[in-house]
Amino acid sequence: MNHKKALGAVFLSSALVLAACGNDKDEPTNENSATDGTPAVEQPAPEQPTTPETTTDGEVAMEAGPYMEVDIEIDIDGKDAYDLEYDEKDRSDNEFKDHLNQSKVEGDAAYETVRSYVDQLTLDANSTKEEAIEQVQKIFNVEDFTKIEVSYKLADGSKVEFEEKR
């Protein structure tokens, strides 16, 4: 019996040695290898598609946009109509109030709602007051207003504020 065990061990060892020493056909070859002895130019690896990050509960995490904070207040006929507060760092500070429909969403639950409005903004540090007011009117579908206040803090730390009263 010992003879069969020893023979099995030798056979297994030989197979492992041969497998380790063999020419691995799966190794990548450099198709750009120069045959004249000069070094080949290495081609960059193709970009891998990125996959969205997921949160601990399996939801897809949204990438941070250009805004760290956004505050928008709209008054219609001298009364509050919409208030939006967006804070990328502290999502518990997010808030959306639709005074026209008596609805209010706060904190983490408001993040998706608030972000849906903020993502429509294309304002930067060089945007004019007219551009900011026009974008807010379009996003909230507001033609006539008595006051619009817009302030935003960009990822670079710069802060911009506009106010228009009619």
DSSP state string for 124-144: -TT--HHHHHHHHHHHHT-S-
State yes or no: pLDDT of 145 exceeds 90: yes
- Specify the DSSP class assigned to residue 65: -
Mean per-residue pLDDT, 126-151: 98
- Would you state the structure tokens that stand for residue 121, as one six-digit string? 């903004």
In whole angstroms, what is the distance from residue 132 CA to residue 158 CA? 16
Model pLDDT, residue 65: 78
User: In this model, does residue 37 exceed pLDDT 90?
Assistant: no
80-121 pLDDT tens trace: 999 999 999 999 999 999 999 999 999 989 999 999 999 999
Average of pLDDT values for 122-141? 97
pLDDT tens-digit readout, 43-89: 444 433 333 333 344 343 445 679 999 999 999 999 999 999 999 99
Q: What is the residue type of 116?
A: S
Q: How confident is the model at residue 7 (pLDDT cuts 50, 70, 90)?
A: very low
The DSSP result for 9-35, as a single string, is HHHHHHHHHHHHHS--TTS---TT--T
pTM, 2 dp: 0.63
